[in-house]
Structure 1
């Protein structure tokens, strides 16, 4: 009887270990945008640009939440909760409204103001709003794109460089007290937290890829035209009967 119990326990342990080894840890899955009737008025390029814009804005809103958690004094300047601060910035971005704390400035002028050492307002809100506004401005002031829309690859490329400059200033500039403008990435004896750099890097990567894709699109259009022209004249099969 004792031997039977040991054998049963052994096989149960083997079953548990087998299950652990064959069941992969959850790692998420690819998620696309929901299907809508608007797609009928979008080319592949329009669709990619719309998805990239959505993801870039979501990255910025995620960064806003993370920056508020590391810099709670910023949202407390407004007298409202952190969640309400995030909601207001999101609404201002999505509705293309000016941000009150930026003196009516937009895109790169707003971004420059948000990163001045003596800026006294909610710097997190100002930084995220101005970054989003600058990216949207680089996309001709739009967040969704259709067949009638055109995008300038150089403007989108410039937006990527502006984000890189903003991140560098965020970590290198000091206020009058000698402190960094905002606490973000942290490398200390307790560990390394580079999540801010990674998320900003995603934004830069998407912008660069979009700029390169647009440049390639127009170049390939010319090549395709020539291929069709040559193929139409010389690469057709000849009749055999």
Structure 2
């Protein structure tokens, strides 16, 4: 190999090394982090694992929205707790242990969401709305937060859950109480202030639910295609003897 032919190769290798270095350098906005390994994963398929991770991300997204709503509406947590952190802890525990929220009068999922967003609701609206929305999402997943090989998911129910979150976010942003004030202060657009962080968090939850619904639909379609491919492969894609 001559010097003239090796120069382009060396330059290509140097570029590849530089790109690899850039890819491995930490981002100023943080790094992607995977969940910790657990022996429970042995009972999970890839679909189970993805569903579990998506569920955890959606619940954490709702908890983040709860914190943001409490900060903008401190009068709400004062109805049920002596501090914001205590109020948030109560809601988390109720969601994670699948306990009903007392102020929702025994209602669950979409009925609870409707009550929490009613102009006449007098309780802690932040707690009621977050709990009801979380409950609706869990119900759409077959009343489970973690998924294993024996579990199945309905793509249409997840799609419907995504639409329910969209409807809930729209009502929260547009509906007014009897005094003409917003049910809860959330996004703010006016003058020099532009805060759309609530909309972004709702959008992430909707996006994950929609992606999971599409993934489940694709999974069953691909299973059929794989079956046909295996049948064809058995007959037509075999190597032929040469001696």
Q: TM-score, normalised by structure 2?
A: 0.88
Alignment partner of 1:228 is 2:221: no
Q: Distance in 1 between matches of 2:231 and 2:81?
A: 66
* Aligned residues between the structures: 219
Q: Equivalences for 1:75-224 in 2 at 5 Å?
A: 75-224=77-226
State the distance in 2 between where 1:124 and 1:177 align. 18
Gap change, CA 1:24 and 1:221, over 3 Å in 2: closer
1:190 to partner: Cα distance:
2.7
Which residue is equivalent to 1:33? 35
Would the aligned equivalents of 2:76 and 2:125 in 1 still touch at CA under 8 Å? yes
Name structure 2 gaps, 5 residues minimum. 1-24
* 2:51 counterpart of 1:49: yes
Post-superposition shift, 1:54? 0.3
User: What is the Cα deviation at residue 25 of structure 1?
Assistant: 6.3
Match of 2:171, SS? helix
RMSD across aligned C-alpha pairs, in angstroms? 1.1
1:142-166: CA deviation from partner (whole Å, max 9, x where unpaired): 0111111100000000000000000
**CA–CA distance in structure 2, aligned partners of residues 74 and 45 of structure 1:** 38
* Whole-Å separation in 1 of the counterparts to 2:81 and 2:43: 44
User: Counterpart of 1:240 in 2: which secondary structure?
Assistant: coil
Q: Residues of 1 paired with 2:242 and 2:212: CA distance?
A: 48
What SS does the corresponding residue of 2:241 show, helix, strand or coil?
Answer: coil
SS of residue in 1 equivalent to 2:189: strand
Q: CA deviation at 1:79?
A: 4.0
How far the C-alpha of 1:77 sits from its partner, in A, is 1.2
Unaligned runs of 5+ in 1: 1-22
Report the CA distance between 1:137 and its aligned residue: 0.3
SS of residue paired to 1:206:
helix
* Displacement of 1:76: 1.0
> Once superposed, which parts of structure 1, at least 4 consecutive aligned residues long, lie more than 4 Å away?
none
**What do the CA deviations read for 1:166-216 (whole angstroms, capped 9, x no partner)?**
011111111010111000000011320000000010000000000000000
Cα displacement string for residues 3-33 of structure 1 (whole angstroms, at most 9, x for unaligned residues)? xxxxxxxxxxxxxxxxxxxx97621111111
Distance of 1:48 and 1:24 partners within structure 2: 25
CA distance in 2, matches of 1:130, 1:187: 27
1:68 corresponds in structure 2 to 70
1: CA distance between counterparts of 2:144 and 2:33?
23
Aligned equivalents of 1:121, 1:170: Cα separation in 2: 15
